[in-house]
Amino acid sequence: MPTCDLLLTNATVLTLDERFTHYASGAVAVTGDSIAAVGDIAREYQAKQTVDCGRKVVLPGLVNAHTHAPMTLLRGLADDLRLDVWLLGYMLPVEREFVSPDFVKLGAGLACAEMIRSGVTCFADMYYFEESVAEVTAAAGMRALCGQTVLKFPSPDAASYEDSLALARDFITRWKNHPLIVPAPAPHAPYTCTAEILQACAALAVEFDVPLHIHISETLLEVENSRREHGMPVVPWVKKQGLFDAKVLAAHCVHVDEGEIRTLKNTRAGVAHNPTSNLKLASGIAPVAKMLASGLNVGIGTDGPASNNDLDMFEETRLAAILAKGISGDPTALPARQALAMATRLGARALHLGHLTGALEPGKRADLIVLDLQPLHNAPAFARDANAVYSQIVYAAKSTDVTDVMCNGQWLMRDRKLLTVDEPALLRAARDYAKKIDIFLIQREGSVLQKLVAIGGAVEQESFEVQVKARVPGEAAEQALEVLQGDVITIIRSVHYHEYDTYFLFADPSQGRLRYREDEFLDDQGQVTSVRARLTLTGQAREGEFGSVLLSRSHYLAPATYSLRFYREYFKPVAEREVEKDRRRWLVVYKGVEFFVNLDRLIKPAVEGYYLEIKSRTWSRRDAQDKAAIISELLGLFGASPDNALKEDYVELTGRK
């Protein structure tokens, strides 16, 4: 008679295997970290320990296919807001201030505790300091695909994308062979990464044979921008960057067409469907039934607890099932059994971990949960239809009906008691963090940025900028115009306008300066053709200097939809400055790089001569350095000397008067 370490008996066993094999009265034999046998096998095994499941249901541990676990610490911080207000006004500033390995460990610990309680044994994560998530998850005994975020912006754990890529490589190298953790690069999203970043992340994933975790086509805006910028929707564009050379887990895929679904299927990508988050943030509803029909592995995810606001896979699975019916008009769409398969087997496959988890089959890891279907809210039960048990689980069971959880052969919860996580300590520490975040945000209530964001539409200018400005005499301006007409520079477009700037200054200079600008666009005859007004909030900080070339970032732009009078009353500046100038502006290419060249004549304050500005966007410090060198060269070409370069903004010239 074969032996096993543990025998779970007297249970309804749902294997969630390909054929949905289930045993009305069955058993599961576990040896070491794995399942030895499943079925009517109770009398065939000699077990070191036997656990009578009291007619409860044993099924695979649920797979949360997409989350940002540490964001438990930001749960409920700011809800029911426009996406930009939520993100720019709350999430990003708080993350910038607070996210650290300590924050990440605490948040991930809370998330693990919550997920274990609700029957999750495996999840796919994406955050900063992901190695801290991995440490906490491994200590809690859970399985996870841990994605180290890579972004074109600076992030809490990396000043540049090169840094975050290096972090990802280190993390993957160290954790590659861990029994519970699968490390992965997580390029955040196509619109927050460059082509180069996507290519580098895919290459990294291929090099180490690990999956790659990314957000794809979450919002319609993302797709529209992709069509405009790349002439195609998101999936073909990332395919062109070689992303699917890696084993991709694509979160969201709300706005994908049939061709994109085919591409995802053909490239063996997995998809994480996040119905609560997609509804709550008003992103839309993913075409899940179509994806499943195409044979795609679609799992279900909660997304981060700042946009959900919990990690309850029972709620998520129910929502996936009923939403698919509601939007298709077909009540037979996504039946309960298929929805539960998404939450288990298909989710595991979407994470590229289907060989390890997601179904109760001999040889797979012992990742399983025990569920009580006998409470009042699930009574009575009918035996006629073999699918009724799936319906009970999906349409009426609650996460609080999970009584026991095992992962990798280890009990994580017994009789609703957590065994691997110190819940009271986590709760205490979370309270302390929440207090600090509260204080931080309350202090910021008077912040100009906060107020700008609160009235809507403020977007962070998504780049570094390298720039130089030099005062040039009238004749140098003539020379510059000749150079622009010449052979070495290609003009892409040019424009001529009259700028009226009003700067609001604040008592606390760290608030930055808010500029209200009205531009009158002029035609060849100097007639006004159109007018545009917008707000820009600029910080004081310079990121760096390369000789006379300055590196700056963090401008917030917003369309000025109200009057100057409104903004004056709303922002209550302590002082104002006015600047008026005539500007000719060219977008040019020089040595294969795009630059903006401005030739400005100051009217208010009235200053003799001209100012020549040369600017370019950049994504990394290395690129900035390269462009700074070309800018200096251009400056020479235009006959200006770096000695005449100015570091002040025009508004600072008004201060001199």
Residues 66-85, interacting with a second copy (CB under 8 A): 72-73, 75-83
Distance CA 8, CA 19 (A): 22
Work out whether 279 is an interface residue with a second copy (CB under 8 A): yes
Name which of 234 and 313 has its Cβ closer to a second copy.
Answer: 313
Nearest to 70 by CA among 21, 112, 23: 112
The answer to whether 226 and 190 have CB atoms below 8 angstroms apart is yes
When the beta carbons of 254 and 489 are compared against a second copy, the nearer one is: 254
Strands 270-273 and 297-300: parallel
Specify the stretch interacting with a second copy by CB under 8 A; choose among 433-441, 481-489, 550-558, 578-586. 433-441
Does residue number 86 form part of the binding site for a second copy (CB under 8 A)? yes
> Cα separation of 448 and 455, whole Å?
11
Report, in Å, the least distance between residue 450 CB and a second copy.
12
- In single-letter form, the type of residue at position 530 comes to S
Among 18, 438, 478, 569, binds a second copy (CB under 8 A): 438
Residues in 329-358 that interact with a second copy by CB under 8 A = 329-333, 335-336
In angstroms, what is the minimal distance from the CB of 472 to a second copy? Answer: 49
Three-class secondary structure of residue 633 per DSSP: helix
Please name which of 392, 395, 394, 396 lies closest in space to residue 381, comparing C-alpha atoms: 392
The residue (of 89 and 156) whose beta carbon lies closer to a second copy is: 89
Q: Are 325 and 333 in contact (CB under 8 A)?
A: yes
Q: What's the alpha-carbon Rg for the chain, to the nearest Å?
A: 29
Of residues 294-313, which lie at the interface with a second copy (CB under 8 A)?
305, 308-312
First to last CA, the chain: 97
Q: Fill in the per-residue mask, 386 to 405: x = in contact with a second copy (CB under 8 A), - = not in contact.
A: -xx--xx--xx-xxx-----
Judged by CB under 8 A, the stretch of 161-169, 245-253, 419-427, 501-509 that binds a second copy is: 419-427
Interactions with a second copy, residue window 107-166 (CB under 8 A): 110, 113-114, 117-118
Question: Please, what is the minimum distance in Å from the beta carbon of residue 384 to a second copy?
Answer: 5
How many helices (DSSP H) and strands (DSSP E) are in the chain? 21, 28
Comparison of 186 and 558: residue with beta carbon closer to a second copy: 558
What Å distances lie between residue 99 and 146, 158, 287, CA to CA?
Answer: 17, 12, 34
Q: Does 441 bind a second copy (CB under 8 A)?
A: yes
From candidates 1, 376, 574, 606, binder to a second copy by CB under 8 A = 376
Q: Which stretch binds a second copy (CB under 8 A): 14-22, 46-54, 423-431, 559-567?
A: 423-431
Q: How far is the CB of 283 from a second copy (least distance, A)?
A: 8
Tell me the C-alpha distance between 83 and 144, whole Å.
28
380 part of the interface to a second copy, by CB under 8 A: yes
* Cβ 118 to a second copy shortest distance, Å: 8
Residue written as token pair 């992030």: 155
Tokens of 7: 């025998």
Q: How many CB atoms lie within 10 A of CB 150?
A: 29
Closest to a second copy by CB, 391 or 536: 391
Closer CB to a second copy, residue 124 or residue 281? 281
* Contacting residue, 278, 297, 538, 552, with a second copy by CB under 8 A: 278
The answer to whether 610 touches 598, Cβ cutoff 8 Å, is no
Residue 85, helix vs strand vs coil: helix
